[in-house]
Chain A
């Protein structure tokens, strides 16, 4: 449970905001707030996840600290989200992963890399790992086919299950009914909002990120991360189809769909995560909380390393470095998969659900 103090603080500042309403033009949070006069725990959980952390409202706020009202929506909502994530986490005993998340993500990833590399050395030996392998099934000479397919498929299914359960818990905790969740109109609008990152546009001029100036830069970097991730996902799925249905063993030539999609996606991820990390380095820390820093940076670094090792593997797959790079890449991907339900990635699920709720509320308001 989020601490009572934090919920009270969120309720206190929302009450101030609701009497002011100057920030109505920035994002979806304020029009949603205006549908209410008082703020229940359910409302606050929903509003905190609807907030995209664009920070326009902080710099525009006449009550921001050092004013005695000390209204700081981005910071408060960000803290609330961090305290809420463990609440929705399945299985419950892993909820503690959200504490010191950056450190844990780093340790798990390091461990994952070490295990894959070690297994390759033990079962294949340095002679195989450091040899040059080219042509069909070259990858499987270093890491056997089943070792790639079984753990990662199992992990993918596990991730899907945890995210579904987490999403269901969020929906229930914010007072939603299951039927509403499949409302086609609400989903269409939420998808449209999410695909454009509508609420990182700060009312049309961009976020106040990394500082008080309006800028679209964060939105563009986030787009690169999102679409880069999607392209990599598509590349992987396509590769699986090639391998299992068309029975063509990896690696594939550069001008094949899996490699082209993966290359573009990987480059986008590299630039996007690198850019977001750079902005985070530059950012004004007053409207932020240090408590989420490790989680945010951990996830961005992990995505950055995933794309970096993947791209290096592509470039150097015809050399003796391929074996090492392949094992390291698989190890990093392993770390990414294992920590996915217990880190920053989950924001995508809860934000999307909050957007659905917002779409439902606003269309109800109009009729």
Chain B
């Protein structure tokens, strides 16, 4: 047992990213005393929100940072399309409606917006971009929360909850190598997924998980998620599902973020370790396809792939952080990539022969396709014939895991017996699976986090101040 006196507060917020901060600020503004327990040290605070750069929200008219209106019906259709209908319709509608003009609330809480970045012009109407990106947003929110009087502890790692009569009573956490206890009237769990928990990942994916790269914070271990599940919270989402992108295999194990992405796949071919192509590289625009390539590469032997382009394509995609591996012949390139040179030459020759004449245009689904090739390449297929040739190794990069906690429209956690935990609330990635059953919509994680962070903060403060609603 902790030998230091327990901390007493009204609303405990577990987590330190976007949803956690939105909950903390809202609860504090409602008059509650609030303590935030962020597991990361201050320099790495903010979880995956550090790596974000925009938020999607409903708005009736454009402004200097959004080029036009984005209304409920269109938002709804976009969501249905990516999830294939796998969504809790009530919570999804709530998210969309509550997102109306979120930008104003964010600005009032310190966020600065900017016009869309050059690489994200396709989001110019629907998504508002943070000046400087997600870390700048987190800095602003932490500053605002501090000013409001929210208490924040960094490096505070929650290990267990103490429950009484089906209600939350206290949390046990590690802080500066000691076990501490905080007693609160209500708790908001906004600690994200378990994408940085390598042993948990291994339970789900086996040995393959050793070759996964984690794009976000190494502190997202999912321990509060585990605590909730162990105390009988009802899970939502497939424990084996995650948002995974094909990224540069040379990226660091953790926290490589946006710069490790590779946008060249649709301009060349991709082979696996055995020098076999395994999917149509030109099926659709890259922004619509990068998320499936994470899983595709994860399914290959040793979880690795190699994207190969020639000099015609260099300059057509965003520069990447690691320089391409370069060679003047396909054989030489294969050797540098540690692939079988003869096999790669055969694959490239067969591909080049199958390419049909067409008019190359990266801005449309053009008519450059292959014929009688398996798998085909449907667009942007041009022979790989102009040296130098370039290769990039690819690995699955995990952005976040989908397994989460079931909640209701007040962000209250639902237990396995369908009972409502009256004073346990969840917000952000940990409950995103209620709304995003599958797929992903750019900037929508931030929408869910902000909307449900505010709902959870409001309801948790209400519970702490007024007691249980009868």
Contacts and interface: CB of A to CB of B under 8 A. Distances in A.
Instruction: Determine if chain A interacts with chain B.
Output: yes
Interface in A197-224: 203-205, 212-214
A20 to B, nearest CB: 5
Contacts of B315: 37
Contact of B319 (A18, A63, A212, A213): A18
B388 interface: no
A66 interface: yes
B252 A26 contact: no
Interface string B314-336: 01001111010000000000000
A18 B136 CA distance: 18
Contacts of A57: 132
Q: Is the interface of A mostly helix, strand, loop or mixed?
A: loop
Given A25-B115, A62-B50, A20 B131 contact: no
Nearest to A18: B319
Contacts of A16: 259, 321
A26 B132 contact: yes
Given A62-B257, A204-B112, A22 B133 contact: yes
A3 B117 CA distance: 33
Interface in A1-41: 15-16, 18-26, 34, 37
Given A24-B114, A37-B315, A63 B257 contact: yes
Contacts of B117: 21-22, 24-25
B192 interface: no
B343 to A, nearest CB: 31
Contacts of A24: 114, 117-118
Contact of B43 (A25, A34, A56, A66): A66
A59 interface: yes
A67 interface: yes
Contact of A59 (B44, B114, B139): B139
B206 interface: no
Nearest to A59: B139
B193 interface: no
A19 B320 contact: yes
Nearest to B314: A37
Interface in B298-318: 315, 318
A75 B453 CA distance: 36
Contact of B259 (A63, A204, A205): A63
Interface in B120-156: 129, 131-136, 139, 143
Nearest to B65: A25
* Chain A interface size, under 10 / 10 to 19 / 20 to 34 / 35 or more: 20 to 34
B192 to A, nearest CB: 16
B112 A214 contact: yes
A61 interface: yes
B136 A60 contact: yes
B114 A15 contact: no
Contacts of B129: 25
A62 B112 contact: no
Nearest to A66: B43
* Chain B interface size, under 10 / 10 to 19 / 20 to 34 / 35 or more: 20 to 34
B112 A203 contact: yes
A37 B323 CA distance: 10
A15 B319 contact: yes
B458 interface: no
B162 to A, nearest CB: 34
A21 B139 contact: no
A62 B133 contact: yes
Nearest to B248: A19
Among A16, A18, A21, A212, chain B packs the most CB atoms within 10 A around the CB of A21
B33 interface: no
Contacts of A212: 139, 143
B258 A20 contact: yes
B53 A19 contact: no
Contacts of A59: 132, 135-136, 139
B102 to A, nearest CB: 19
Contacts of B319: 15, 18-19, 37
B59 interface: no
A23 B112 contact: no
B259 A60 contact: no
A266 B98 CA distance: 56
B258 A60 contact: no
B119 interface: yes
Contacts of A205: 112, 131
B255 interface: yes
Given A15-B319, A63-B259, A213 B143 contact: yes
B51 interface: yes
Interface in A289-311: none
Contacts of B139: 59-60, 212
Given A57-B132, A60-B132, A60-B135, A25 B114 contact: yes
Contacts of A21: 117-119, 318
Nearest to A60: B132
B264 to A, nearest CB: 12
A22 B120 CA distance: 11
Interface in A42-84: 56-57, 59-64, 66-69
Contacts of B115: 25
Nearest to B119: A21
A61 B259 CA distance: 12
Nearest to A205: B112
Among B118, B257, B315, chain A packs the most CB atoms within 10 A around the CB of B257
A366 B106 CA distance: 33
Contacts of A203: 112, 114, 131-132
Contact of A23 (B132, B143, B252, B255): B132
Contacts of B261: 19
Given A22-B258, A213-B143, A34 B118 contact: yes
B252 A22 contact: no
B259 A20 contact: yes
Closest 10 CB pairs of A and B: A60-B132, A22-B133, A25-B114, A60-B136, A19-B259, A19-B321, A25-B131, A62-B135, A37-B319, A20-B259
12 contacts: A19-B259, A19-B318, A20-B259, A22-B132, A25-B131, A25-B132, A56-B136, A60-B136, A62-B50, A64-B43, A67-B255, A203-B131
Interface of A: 15-16, 18-26, 34, 37, 56-57, 59-64, 66-69, 203-205, 212-214
Given A23-B133, A59-B139, 6 more contacts: A19-B260, A19-B261, A25-B129, A34-B118, A60-B139, A205-B131
